[in-house]
């Protein structure tokens, strides 16, 4: 492979060493919006062309040294007398085809740069070698990949289409993938002048030999769909795989390849790109917002680097903060294979600045709606760019929090106060205790376990229900202070236990039923009371107290780069 190593300018945290990647066939950049995914691709592309960078995210590449045999092969067929008219002949020079122009370079300089692409020679390596092997695929260029190409001399095919036309094995392998994706057969039409055009034909009509000019081939091409009748998704999907499989790019850079694609196709594309790159001397650098594309790449079996980028702009005395963290393939694969995590859409959390996990779907819907109202009033309040997920009860919250935090993602959990309670059943502990490992609370947990038991014992001693009758407001003096200290400590680790009891008792000024007939009924009732039209006088706008202040605290933990509870 052409690239051995990629070095970024920062690491997993403010004090961490910059991230250095041993570059395999596939490197995928993920993260929230505006985290630098597209920028790092542009910076890598620039380095491959120029050998230098003033990158914000990317630092430098380490190119692989080329063998003598590889250098000789790269010089095969290069004319030594390809000088311009009147230019003196230098027997030590070679003329390289460079962007459709021939440029002279001393053979010794060329060989030295390729044999030792160090800091002193990487500019030459990039300019005269690496840049010729880089393919950059943004949105418009992906669609143009399927436009007609010149047929040229088929005895020595040069264009991607010509190479594919003359390679039955490669063409059939690509056709099989595309048939699985679209249920149509790809055909290569050579009936119009010196062009090769792509067409999609009916799945049930046998495809004749494309290199033949017989009537059966001509009739098939007449009936098949020309490219101007394809969807943008078909164009992009076909063009990217065709270029990777039939072209000869050593480095391919793709920004958001899932654009225009249905999730099922995004999965197939991720799988095929990773598989294709791993089977040849190719490397692919990708940025994506698609969990489906990511799943396809990982499940291809290829070794994949997954790098999560984040960026927080500075404010006041706080400087800007950027991170780059390598995500574990094994951890992500576990998340994808676990039916519970897959059904909860947990993997999507890597594309957000933060995640909030609640006990139930009604809780999630409530907090998400109120967070959106906070952000609409003031983008600095609440939790921006945050995914709200729900577990299936308190006991399963840790199943979502733990895996995402292992990936370095700030995940806040919100629980009703009875999370402190131990069941009366033998050997059943409070749901809070298993969560301590999920939130990376420091071992041992003896003091936390003791404080939890003491607080719950004090609440029970009031002979009232802490969930529905006031939470820690039922306590006084030292008992209340101890409870507040416990909750303050949990808040610092992103575990927010409701001090007033339960979600149903937020916004007490709204005159609605708080009955225990089910959270779904409570949700519909409180949503009706909240209103849907901001212009309606009855619409509930954010204030500076109650649940609004609570969500501000949750958001502050997510945004705090010095937050506790995220593994290093």
Full domain range(s) for residue 34:
3-65+116-137+238-327
Do the domain assignments include residue 71?
no
Q: Mean pLDDT over residues 89-109, rounded?
A: 62
Query: Above pLDDT 90, what percent of the chain?
Result: 67
Which stretches does DSSP call E strand in 228-282?
A: 251-255
Q: Mean pLDDT over residues 528-544, rounded?
A: 95
For the chain, the average pLDDT equals 89
pLDDT of residue 140: 81
pLDDT of residue 103: 62
Which stretches does DSSP call E strand in 202-346?
A: 225-226, 251-255, 283-287, 304-312, 321-327
pLDDT of residue 306: 94
Do the domain assignments include residue 567?
no
Q: Mean pLDDT over residues 23-30, rounded?
A: 90
pLDDT at 139 over 90: no
Residue 262 sits in the same domain as residue 128:
yes
Distance, in Å, from the CA atom of 219 to the CA atom of 272, rounded to the nearest integer, reads: 31
**2 CB contacts (<8 Å, ≥6 apart)?**
63, 64, 130, 133, 250, 251, 281, 283
pLDDT at 426 over 50: no
pLDDT of residue 494: 97
Is there a contact between 98 and 128 (Cβ–Cβ < 8 Å)? yes
Distance, in Å, from the CA atom of 483 to the CA atom of 506, rounded to the nearest integer, reads: 19
Residue 459 sits in the same domain as residue 517:
yes
pLDDT of residue 99: 47
Residue 358 sits in the same domain as residue 444:
yes
**208 CB contacts (<8 Å, ≥6 apart)?**
214, 216, 217, 220
pLDDT at 21 over 60: yes
User: 3-class DSSP state for residue 493?
Assistant: coil
Residue 55 sits in the same domain as residue 165:
no
283, 301, 327 — which closes off a domain? 327
Using N-to-C axis directions, what is the helix angle for 107-115 and 68-75, rounded to 10°? 140
pLDDT digit string, tens, across residues 378-408: 999 999 999 999 999 999 999 999 999 999 9
pLDDT at 81 over 60: no
Residue 506 sits in the same domain as residue 548:
yes
Task: Count up the domains in the chain and report the number.
Answer: 3
Distance, in Å, from the CA atom of 80 to the CA atom of 149, rounded to the nearest integer, reads: 29
208, 229, 250 — which closes off a domain? 229
Q: Which of 489, 483, 520, 528 is nearest to 503 (CA)?
A: 520
Query: What values do phi and psi take at 2, rounded to 5?
Result: -75, -35
Distance, in Å, from the CA atom of 419 to the CA atom of 421, rounded to the nearest integer, reads: 5
- Furthest CA-CA distance within the chain: 103
pLDDT at 91 over 90: no
pLDDT digit string, tens, across residues 239-268: 999 999 888 889 999 999 998 899 999 999
- Is pTM beyond 0.85? Reply is yes
Identify the CATH number of the domain in which residue 26 sits.
3.40.50.300
Confidence band (pLDDT; 50, 70, 90) for 456? very high
């Amino acid at each position: 492979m052409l690239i051995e190593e990629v070095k970024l300018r920062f690491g997993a945290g403010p004090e961490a060493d910059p991230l250095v990647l041993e570059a395999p066939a596939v490197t995928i950049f993920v993260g929230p919006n505006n985290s630098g995914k597209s920028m790092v691709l542009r910076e890598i592309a620039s380095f491959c062309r120029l050998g230098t960078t003033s990158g914000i995210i990317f630092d430098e590449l380490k190119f692989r040294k080329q063998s003598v045999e590889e250098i000789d092969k790269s010089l095969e067929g290069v004319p030594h007398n390809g000088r311009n008219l009147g230019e003196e002949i230098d027997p030590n020079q070679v003329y390289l085809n460079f962007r459709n122009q021939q440029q002279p370079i001393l053979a010794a300089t060329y060989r030295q740069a390729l044999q030792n692409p160090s800091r002193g020679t990487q500019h030459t390596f990039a300019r005269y070698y690496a840049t010729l092997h880089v393919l950059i695929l943004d949105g418009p260029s992906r669609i143009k990949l399927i436009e007609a190409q010149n047929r040229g001399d088929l005895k020595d095919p040069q264009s991607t289409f010509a190479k594919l036309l003359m390679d039955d094995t490669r063409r059939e392998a690509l056709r099989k993938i595309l048939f699985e994706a679209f249920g149509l057969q790809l055909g290569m039409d050579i009936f119009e002048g010196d062009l090769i055009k792509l067409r999609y034909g009916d799945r049930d009509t046998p495809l004749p030999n494309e290199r033949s000019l017989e009537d059966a081939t001509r009739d098939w091409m007449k009936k098949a769909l020309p490219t101007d009748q394809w969807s943008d998704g078909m164009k992009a999907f076909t063009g990217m795989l065709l270029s990777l499989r039939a072209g000869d790019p050593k480095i391919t850079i793709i920004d958001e390849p899932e654009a225009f694609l249905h999730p099922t196709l995004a999965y197939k594309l991720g799988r095929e790109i990773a598989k294709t790159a791993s089977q040849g001397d190719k490397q692919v650098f990708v940025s994506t917002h698609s969990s489906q594309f990511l799943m396809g790449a990982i499940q291809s079996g290829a070794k994949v680097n997954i790098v999560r980028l984040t960026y927080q702009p500075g404010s006041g005395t706080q400087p800007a903060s950027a991170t780059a963290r390598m995500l574990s393939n094994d951890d992500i694969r576990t998340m994808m294979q676990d039916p519970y995590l897959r059904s909860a859409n947990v993997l999507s959390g890597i594309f957000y600045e933060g995640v909030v996990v609640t006990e139930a779907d009604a809780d999630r819907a409530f907090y998400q709606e109120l967070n959106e109202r906070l952000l609409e009033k003031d983008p600095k309040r609440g939790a921006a760019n945050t995914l709200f997920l729900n577990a299936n009860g308190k006991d399963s919250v840790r199943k979502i929090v733990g895996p995402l935090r292992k990936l370095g993602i700030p995940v806040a959990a919100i629980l009703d106060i009875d999370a402190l309670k131990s069941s009366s059943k033998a050997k059943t502990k409070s749901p809070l205790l298993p969560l301590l490992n999920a939130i990376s609370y420091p071992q041992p947990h003896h003091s936390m376990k003791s404080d939890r038991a003491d607080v719950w014992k004090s609440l029970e001693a009031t002979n009232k229900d802490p969930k529905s009758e006031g939470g820690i407001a039922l306590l006084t003096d030292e008992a209340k202070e101890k409870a507040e200290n416990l909750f303050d400590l949990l808040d610092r680790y992103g575990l927010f236990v409701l001090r007033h009891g339960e979600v149903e008792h937020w916004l007490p000024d709204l005159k609605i039923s708080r009955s225990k007939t089910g959270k779904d009924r409570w949700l519909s009732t409180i949503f009706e009371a909240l209103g849907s039209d901001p212009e309606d006088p009855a619409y509930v706008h954010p204030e500076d107290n109650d649940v609004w202040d609570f969500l501000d605290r949750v958001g502050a933990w997510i945004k705090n780069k010095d937050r506790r509870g995220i593994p290093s």
